[in-house]
Structure 1
Amino acid sequence: MEPIEIGIFVSLGLLAVVILGMRVAFAAAIAGVVGLIWIFWAKKGYSSDSFFWALTVAAKTAGQVPHSKVSSQALSLIPTFILIGYLAYYAGLTKALFEAAKKWVAWLPGGLAVSTVFATAGFAAVSGASVATSAVFARIAIPEMLAIGYDKRFAAGVVAAGGTLASLIPPSAILVIYAIIVEQDVGMLLLAGFVPGAFSAVIYGLLIVGLALTFKNFGPPVSGFTWKERFAALPPALPIFAVVAIIILFVYNPFGGDAWGTPTEGGAIGAFIVFCMALYKGMRWPQLKDALMETAKLAVMIFTIIWGVLIYVRFLGFADLPTAFSDWITSLDQSPMLTLVMILLAYAILGMFMDAIGMLLLTLPITYPAVMALNGGEFVSAADSAFGMSGPMAGIWFGILVVKMAEFCLITPPIGLNCFVVAGVREDLSVQDVFKGVTPFFIADAITIAGLVAFPSIVLWLPSLAG
């Protein structure tokens, strides 16, 4: 059997066991090891002696992956970004953000829900974890929306959908993972996430206002806040903007000259600032211990997925499956843009059965080379490319599109993780209630993705400024 055929069989088996419920990390690692053994054994003619040789070589090949790949400095961003989010919660920044947003925009139709979306977007700027964002605002925002008459399902849907913004707005753990897998510049990707993240939040807000105007008593406005109260609500939220400014300065210096440091250093300094703020607000050892433990748990989960999937990726290289898929994609008799849309639709379907990080790690080694081939190659100029952008810029643009699709997958049934988190925090809500509540946001996500595809400048404006 040829290596490509082995690659297809093993990949189909991997998808089957993941859909049946096996964890992505373990399924990918097992598939990778089995695939490596099969390929090496096939090369030696399937004899009994060659099986043990293939087993030894596969074990050595798989064993090199965890240290060689995960020791990358760029991955050290992930724990610091996650820690910022948990420390921000204990510093009271989440409550301060929500209060500020409420006082400024709650007068709109559906204003409290709009406030929740904007507050989650602000919190996303200091948190790299969508799950943490959803859990925090399920405790803060849902009770206030219920108190003034919001439908509990829609209130839960607002929080679950708003939590997905942490996947796109830097600091984003998923953007870092994408950069590592496809070998793109981490700083450029983090810059590229700001404007699309804000664009997505605005689309969510407009959807909520439209629903409140269409349906009577859907989202009653909240009024009565004075201008003095509005301005007084801003200073407690300022540390959020300080952390955002530090991350930007450590990725790209808008005042000219070199950046102040690396994104990793920016993340560490941002975590230290929020830590000091949390101490000032009264955080004690039990809260710090909880923040560190939750950070460690989430970071270990992400790194375990990376280890397992990278073993599978090593197998794909031996099977030559990414090259074969790229050749097949470029041979299709249709426009590159239509092919790209079909790839994004495939992500939407796949996301119904897999978590976002695992889905990206499993698919990017195949889809990224294919999209680069559609564009004309990794090093093609903007004038010669199919999508009107150079190879590196096409990689950044595709990364934002894919991460937005990963956001979409966090709220799609049957395993939308954010929906399970919100239902777990709120005893008065079932998972089915949350899934019903997020349904309108599917429309908003579709509009956002269409906008990012039709107008790539939304994604590429900031990276182009940075050169």
Structure 2
Amino acid sequence: MDPVTVGLFGIALLIFLVVFGVPVAFAAAFTGILGIYYLRGWNTAIGLSGLIPYANSASYSLSVLPLFIAIGFLAMQAGITTQAYAAARTWVGRAPGGLATATILASAGFAAVSGASTASTAVFTRIAMPEMEKLGYNQALAAGVIAVGGTLAALIPPSAMLVLYGIIVEESIGKLLIAGFVPGALSLVVYMLVITVVVKLKPDWAPSLERTTIIEKLRTLPKVSGIFCVVGVILGGVYFGLMTPTESAAIATAIIMAMALWKRIRMNDMRKGLMETIRTTAMIFMVIWGVMIFIRFLAFTGLPNQITDMVVGLDVPRFYILMAVIVMYLLLGMILDGLGMMMLTLPVIYPTMMGLGYDPIWFGILIVKLVEIGVVTPPVGINCYVVNGLRPDIKLETVFLGVAPFLVGEVFLLALIIGLPDLFLFLPNHL
């Protein structure tokens, strides 16, 4: 059997294993080792499976991941998330759908210190859902807002997804983090507009809060100063070349740690935050190790190069190929989680898209936006499952119903990313 055919069989086996519930890390490692054994022999397969985990862990660029993850979990345990929600509620609670808008704003604030989509969804299911229900919000709207708000963590720096994209395709993590700011901010604005439109059409779905004075609003700002500090350090430090992404993440982690100690966080809560950081980091690194073994197997087969040459040689406009890739990711998002989807597809898709002349930073923004959409679309919208898991009384179909209006906004955002690439490359190009 020729190597390219072996590569196709390997991809088919990997998809089969993932669809039937084998974790991506183990499915990718098993398929990769098996494929390398078939092509190069047992000694090479065992040697590489031992070398690759170390080679892909002993990397300075990877050290940014556990730091970003630690920022989010420590902020959550220190109550910074709750304060962000209270501040957002004070500022926009009076607006149409004010409490829903406050949830979106607070989710953006948590995204700016977290980068973890499911963590954000879990936090606001506990914090915001009872408050919206108490005020008489429609359950579908409330659940949909929380699920969609969690997706902001995929783009707003610090974004674990953008870091992973940079590691997989070997692109500048600093440029990717800076590039995530504009689409993240635009996503926030579009979500708020969707809430306004829904509430205008269904005013009984979202009662307004009482008006607050400007003094009350200003009093909330010191409570969210830590979030502004973290954003300033990460974006400002990287953009102006004062720090590497890892250095900015380390300083931001120190700021959050100091704030947690200032708030006299209990040692048990500190321990919980650090243990969650360790668990999440270990899970991500296991996926990286498994997929890197699979990528090495694909390199031996020559399949990525074959696919790139074939697609680049097609006599069709590259826009049609881009549309096909977008549709593929939207379909994959219905059955795979975002991390697995990126790790499994990019080794083949990325070189193809670069061969067609697309910008790697812009393509990263597009892919992460598609991953965002995937975590809220049925049947495997993981953020929707998080809401349902924490609140079993809210049916899964109710959550998906609440998400539906926001998917219209996502289509608009995709059109902007595709139609105005310079808008999203302005900041990283001036880095």
* Residue pairs, 1:110-259, within 5 angstroms: 110-253=97-240, 259=241
* Residue pairs, 1:379-418, within 5 angstroms: 394-418=359-383
SS for the counterpart of 1:217 is helix
User: C-alpha distance in 2, partners of 1:365/1:23?
Assistant: 18
User: C-alpha distance in 1, partners of 2:378/2:96?
Assistant: 28
Deviation digits for residues 304-351 of structure 1 (CA, Å, limit 9, x no counterpart):
110101000000101111111111211222211221121011011111
Deviation at 1:96, TM superposition (A): 1.7
Deviation at 1:100, TM superposition (A): 1.7
User: C-alpha distance in 2, partners of 1:334/1:208?
Assistant: 39
- Letter aligned with residue 152 of structure 2: L
Deviation at 1:156, TM superposition (A): 1.2
Equivalent residue for 2:332, pick from 342, 350, 370: 350
SS for the counterpart of 1:188 is helix
Q: 1:10 corresponds to which residue? A: 10
User: C-alpha distance in 2, partners of 1:343/1:415?
Assistant: 19
Deviation at 1:56, TM superposition (A): 1.9
User: C-alpha distance in 2, partners of 1:98/1:444?
Assistant: 23
Deviation at 1:210, TM superposition (A): 0.6
- Whether contact under 8 Å (2:385, 2:396) holds in the other structure is yes
- Letter aligned with residue 283 of structure 1: I
Deviation at 1:228, TM superposition (A): 1.0
User: C-alpha distance in 1, partners of 2:415/2:134?
Assistant: 35
Deviation at 1:101, TM superposition (A): 1.4
Structure 1 pair 405/102, CA: closer, same or farther in 2 (3 Å)?
A: same
- Letter aligned with residue 120 of structure 2: T
Q: 2:425 corresponds to which residue? A: 460
- Whether contact under 8 Å (2:93, 2:211) holds in the other structure is no
- Whether contact under 8 Å (2:162, 2:368) holds in the other structure is yes
Moved more, 128-137 or 407-416: 407-416
2:88 equivalent to 1:106: no
Deviation at 1:141, TM superposition (A): 0.9
Q: 2:293 corresponds to which residue? A: 311
Equivalent residue for 1:374, pick from 344, 350, 356: 356
Q: Which runs of 4+ in 1 moved over 3 A?
A: none
SS for the counterpart of 1:126 is coil
Structure 1: which 5+ residue stretches go unaligned?
A: 41-53, 254-258, 376-386, 388-393
Deviation at 1:426, TM superposition (A): 2.3
SS for the counterpart of 1:303 is helix
Moved more, 241-250 or 422-431: 422-431
Deviation at 1:226, TM superposition (A): 1.1
Deviation at 1:104, TM superposition (A): 1.7
SS for the counterpart of 1:234 is helix
Deviation at 1:140, TM superposition (A): 1.1
User: C-alpha distance in 1, partners of 2:6/2:146?
Assistant: 43
Equivalent residue for 1:81, pick from 68, 71, 77: 68
- Whether contact under 8 Å (1:101, 1:118) holds in the other structure is yes
User: C-alpha distance in 1, partners of 2:395/2:14?
Assistant: 31
User: C-alpha distance in 2, partners of 1:435/1:23?
Assistant: 25
Moved more, 268-277 or 410-419: 410-419
User: C-alpha distance in 1, partners of 2:23/2:423?
Assistant: 35
Deviation digits for residues 225-260 of structure 1 (CA, Å, limit 9, x no counterpart):
11111111111111101011111233121xxxxx22
What is the TM-score normalised by the length of structure 2?
Answer: 0.97
Q: 1:94 corresponds to which residue? A: 81
SS for the counterpart of 2:171 is coil
Deviation at 1:179, TM superposition (A): 0.5
| Identity in percent | 45
Q: 1:69 corresponds to which residue? A: 56
User: C-alpha distance in 2, partners of 1:167/1:150?
Assistant: 27
User: C-alpha distance in 2, partners of 1:225/1:371?
Assistant: 51
Structure 2: which 5+ residue stretches go unaligned?
A: none
RMSD, aligned α-carbons? 1.3
Aligned length: 431
Deviation digits for residues 433-465 of structure 1 (CA, Å, limit 9, x no counterpart):
322322222222121111111111231111122
Equivalent residue for 1:262, pick from 244, 248, 252: 244
SS for the counterpart of 1:260 is coil
User: C-alpha distance in 1, partners of 2:274/2:156?
Assistant: 22
Q: 2:390 corresponds to which residue? A: 425
Deviation at 1:211, TM superposition (A): 0.8
- Whether contact under 8 Å (1:78, 1:128) holds in the other structure is no
- Whether contact under 8 Å (1:196, 1:458) holds in the other structure is no
Q: 1:287 corresponds to which residue? A: 269
Q: 1:334 corresponds to which residue? A: 316
- Whether contact under 8 Å (2:141, 2:205) holds in the other structure is no
What is the TM-score normalised by the length of structure 1?
Answer: 0.90
Deviation at 1:33, TM superposition (A): 0.9
Deviation at 1:414, TM superposition (A): 2.1
User: C-alpha distance in 2, partners of 1:159/1:316?
Assistant: 39
Q: 1:272 corresponds to which residue? A: 254
User: C-alpha distance in 2, partners of 1:11/1:368?
Assistant: 16
- Whether contact under 8 Å (1:103, 1:225) holds in the other structure is yes
SS for the counterpart of 1:64 is helix
Structure 1 pair 458/121, CA: closer, same or farther in 2 (3 Å)?
A: farther
User: C-alpha distance in 2, partners of 1:317/1:12?
Assistant: 16
User: C-alpha distance in 1, partners of 2:57/2:336?
Assistant: 22
SS for the counterpart of 2:384 is helix
SS for the counterpart of 2:210 is coil
Deviation digits for residues 390-422 of structure 1 (CA, Å, limit 9, x no counterpart):
xxxx10000010011111111122222212222
Q: Which has the larger radius of gyration?
A: 1
Deviation at 1:427, TM superposition (A): 4.1
User: C-alpha distance in 2, partners of 1:30/1:324?
Assistant: 23
- Whether contact under 8 Å (1:81, 1:127) holds in the other structure is yes
- Whether contact under 8 Å (1:154, 1:437) holds in the other structure is yes
- Whether contact under 8 Å (1:134, 1:159) holds in the other structure is yes
